Chains A and B, each alone.
Chain A
């Protein structure tokens, strides 16, 4: 799942204030720089690893001078660029079931159509598939499928699920020992060099700094009005840290810059940036569970922003790392900290933990309501969400809304239907507020 629209060339329709922020420009430069490196990776003799966002081992890959490619991000880009529908059809023609995760089919369709990245150049084939098997069963199938196509080695890291709601020492040891004995040797072989643990620690130190700033950005949403949208806007904020940049100076600079901008907005009493510029007056504060839809991302966002609804926190923005409950990468324990990171990603939490986390966001960010966007593709997220809805309403007394769409399959974004649901939900919140103030 899991993804961020960072590698997107922003469509002209959103070339607004958001696009003019220095942090946004900085992020754009970082991303285009990464794609430039990918374009010449083979000539430059740099190994390329395909991997997933949750449980990504970016610092490890960077310490070995490898270049990460994230097929989930390729898929979401294709969604935003309106290419995913054709890619999915292409994969279904090849025999992939209509029932399964559309990220996989979108990626396969894109590969079969030439594997052209957002900058118009072909993405390099992987030297290795780094299967960080964290929080989603489909990841395993996805890379089995890619292995058939690329015929390259796979490094599998089995990250146990927090089924009983905590990380046991045995789970942690299992991950660390797999890293030591299998994953790192396989990556070293693909990269053609040995891992330098000091270099890894340096990267982790920088990760920690960026994570501090990101958490400050998330927590700024405690202000009224919230200076950020922690879902629609949030998917941009997670771009660098969930993809190829965690551990880099670029990421540190980006998050420091973003934090300053957000703090400035707080000082000025401003709400978040939206596709239409500065948000109107904040009327509703929401928490959102579940990934967004990418094919109609801006339509979806506007259904909220134009009504004065700001998402003050979301769980989707925690899939590639859950930092606001305290975790930070620890440079003193490089492999242990990578294990803790993988084990702690949002989709690796069990349902009671996910429900508890959402309840804590509702309380911490003083949300008026919470909304679940249930996506057809993703059993990891979606199975159990209806129970979460009930439990959250019971626990918090805050009303929940439920909508259904998909990540990148345009056939499952019923705009009118979703808009109706969102509006009825917001009207209900309005009525509730009026009753409370009467």
Chain B
């Protein structure tokens, strides 16, 4: 349990950087992307849906990768609902809403990674609705042999590079690609530092803050994001500790449609220190560096990192390993006392995965609870009660019984 909490006063040394992060997260009309394009004439901005596309592949040809996480609770859905039946999750509706109301006009193209059939089919809808824009499905390999899935992935990235170059992106240059990988590795190291601080001293970094700081990177170049993360970490370290009694939990299942910030804060208010989560899994998908020496083929390096060190998540086939083993290991690593599954309603990957993960937690005697949300959920009372009961149970008995 954590016995401290940072003071949240106007003298908070992290408040300025948090405000900036919040600005990026709230920038649903992509004003920052428009500004970036003005500063980088002729270069492209390429959006991508969750969870993961290799951002250095885009930065290496001079494109700004822009993570698309729908409209959250900030967008009124006027047209988006007419494209989806009631039993389909919320993120594709708000994403289409933003696209149809012009908020995403600054994007020159969008990539749709293979995470589920909703996003897969959205790629075709995009092709039909916005024929003038580049829209491509990215079939990330489910075979992890470098000569099979690896080769396929390298070829597929080459296709995307060709397509984007034909639309004005830089021609492929191995040195530039290596530089983009190095920048990504530095960003990843900064995020790691943030995550480590959160694990070690959660009283200095609330999950809701770490969330904003990480998610801000969705529309920043790696180097700019690294700077912001480091600035926040340095500021957070200056915060004064405060005694508090929370339960350390890990949250899983929110890798695509994002919970509203209010939900994360509700969990915190219910006595949970969220010491690990998958809200912004895309930026942390590769565990560690993309290893790429000066004479290595950078595209192979990106593929190998995906195959070897891609994180276990619902959209990734677990071949020989035990299902849920990675989750149990994460729980141990961050010394969490319990797991909260928080999945978007109607999210097939997360919800189909959950029983297997729960079984693994049961075997390891790790308490867990589960809840569902939509990105525009506005009422958190029930969630607060549920999370409060969970944290009390864990505190009292070390289980959710």
> Nearest CB to that of B316 among chain A residues?
A140
> Nearest CB to that of A96 among chain B residues?
B355
Which residues from A are CB-within-8-Å of B82? 386
Q: Interface size (B, Cβ < 8 Å)?
A: 59
Residue A63 interfacial (CB < 8 Å): no
Partner of A145, one of B124, B129, B347, B355: B355
| Interchain CB contact under 8 A, B142 and A374 | no
Residue B152 interfacial (CB < 8 Å): yes
| Interchain CB contact under 8 A, A382 and B88 | yes
Which residues from A are CB-within-8-Å of B147? 177, 181
| Interchain CB contact under 8 A, A137 and B348 | yes
Q: A148-B359, A156-B317, A178-B143 are in contact. Are A95 and B127 (CB under 8 A)?
A: no
Q: A138-B352, A380-B117, A383-B117 are in contact. Are A170 and B152 (CB under 8 A)?
A: yes
Q: A140-B142, A163-B139 are in contact. Are A100 and B118 (CB under 8 A)?
A: no
| Interchain CB contact under 8 A, A148 and B139 | no
How near does chain B come to A435, taking the closest CB pair, in angstroms?
27
How near does chain B come to A161, taking the closest CB pair, in angstroms?
6
Partner of A384, one of B124, B315, B317: B124
Which residues from B are CB-within-8-Å of A161? 114, 120, 137, 139
Which residues from B are CB-within-8-Å of A386? 82-85
Q: A351-B124, A383-B92 are in contact. Are A163 and B355 (CB under 8 A)?
A: no
How near does chain A come to B258, taking the closest CB pair, in angstroms?
18
How near does chain A come to B255, taking the closest CB pair, in angstroms?
14
| Interchain CB contact under 8 A, B136 and A181 | no
Q: Mark B104-137, 1 if CB is under 8 A from A, else 0.
A: 0000000010111110111111011100000011
Which residues from B are CB-within-8-Å of A351? 121, 123-125, 127-128
| Interchain CB contact under 8 A, B139 and A160 | yes
Residue B367 interfacial (CB < 8 Å): no
Q: Mark A340-360, 1 if CB is under 8 A from B, else 0.
A: 000000000011111100000
| Interchain CB contact under 8 A, B122 and A141 | no
Residue A97 interfacial (CB < 8 Å): yes
Which residues from A are CB-within-8-Å of B118? 379, 383
CA distance A379 to B348 in the complex (A): 8
Chain B residues 137 to 192 lying within 8 A of chain A, measured CB to CB, are 137-139, 141-143, 145, 147-149, 151-152, 155-156, 159
Which residues from A are CB-within-8-Å of B323? 144, 147-148
Residue B353 interfacial (CB < 8 Å): yes
Which residues from B are CB-within-8-Å of A144? 317-318, 323, 353, 356
> Nearest CB to that of A404 among chain B residues?
B85
Q: A154-B319, A161-B120 are in contact. Are A99 and B83 (CB under 8 A)?
A: no
| Interchain CB contact under 8 A, A383 and B121 | yes
| Interchain CB contact under 8 A, B128 and A138 | no
Which residues from A are CB-within-8-Å of B359? 148
Which residues from A are CB-within-8-Å of B145? 181-182
Residue A429 interfacial (CB < 8 Å): no
Which residues from A are CB-within-8-Å of B375? none
Which residues from A are CB-within-8-Å of B138? 163
> Nearest CB to that of A160 among chain B residues?
B139
How near does chain B come to A150, taking the closest CB pair, in angstroms?
13
CA distance A96 to B151 in the complex (A): 36
Chain A residues 177 to 192 lying within 8 A of chain B, measured CB to CB, are 177-178, 181-182
CA distance A352 to B88 in the complex (A): 20
| Interchain CB contact under 8 A, A174 and B356 | no
> Nearest CB to that of A175 among chain B residues?
B152
> Nearest CB to that of A386 among chain B residues?
B83
> Nearest CB to that of A140 among chain B residues?
B317
Chain A residues 368 to 405 lying within 8 A of chain B, measured CB to CB, are 374, 376, 379-380, 382-387, 391, 404
Residue B29 interfacial (CB < 8 Å): no
CA distance A376 to B120 in the complex (A): 17
Q: Interface size (A, Cβ < 8 Å)?
A: 52
Residue B314 interfacial (CB < 8 Å): yes
> Nearest CB to that of A378 among chain B residues?
B117
Q: A99-B345, A138-B352, A383-B122 are in contact. Are A350 and B127 (CB under 8 A)?
A: yes
Chain A residues 67 to 110 lying within 8 A of chain B, measured CB to CB, are 94-97, 99-101, 104
Residue B36 interfacial (CB < 8 Å): no
| Interchain CB contact under 8 A, B127 and A100 | no
How near does chain A come to B25, taking the closest CB pair, in angstroms?
26
Residue B87 interfacial (CB < 8 Å): yes
Which residues from B are CB-within-8-Å of A170? 152, 155-156, 159
Residue A284 interfacial (CB < 8 Å): no
CA distance A177 to B145 in the complex (A): 11
Residue A133 interfacial (CB < 8 Å): yes
Residue B209 interfacial (CB < 8 Å): no
How near does chain B come to A378, taking the closest CB pair, in angstroms?
8
Chain B residues 71 to 98 lying within 8 A of chain A, measured CB to CB, are 82-85, 87-88, 92
| Interchain CB contact under 8 A, A137 and B117 | yes
| Interchain CB contact under 8 A, B351 and A100 | yes
CA distance A154 to B142 in the complex (A): 13
Residue A216 interfacial (CB < 8 Å): no
| Interchain CB contact under 8 A, B143 and A156 | yes
Residue B391 interfacial (CB < 8 Å): no
How near does chain B come to A168, taking the closest CB pair, in angstroms?
8
CA distance A58 to B376 in the complex (A): 45
Residue B358 interfacial (CB < 8 Å): yes
Which residues from A are CB-within-8-Å of B50? none
> Nearest CB to that of A101 among chain B residues?
B348
Residue A158 interfacial (CB < 8 Å): yes
| Interchain CB contact under 8 A, B148 and A178 | yes
Which residues from B are CB-within-8-Å of A100? 348, 351-352
Additional pairs, 18, CB under 8 Å, beyond known A137-B114, A385-B85: A95-B355, A97-B352, A99-B351, A100-B351, A100-B352, A137-B120, A145-B355, A148-B323, A158-B141, A158-B317, A163-B120, A164-B136, A178-B148, A182-B143, A182-B145, A350-B124, A352-B124, A383-B84
28 contacts between A and B (CB under 8 A): A95-B354, A96-B352, A97-B351, A97-B354, A97-B372, A100-B348, A101-B352, A136-B117, A137-B315, A138-B352, A141-B314, A156-B319, A158-B142, A160-B152, A161-B139, A163-B112, A163-B138, A170-B159, A178-B148, A181-B147, A351-B123, A352-B128, A379-B121, A382-B87, A382-B88, A383-B88, A386-B85, A387-B128
Closest 6 CB pairs of A and B: A163-B137, A351-B124, A141-B352, A97-B351, A350-B124, A158-B142
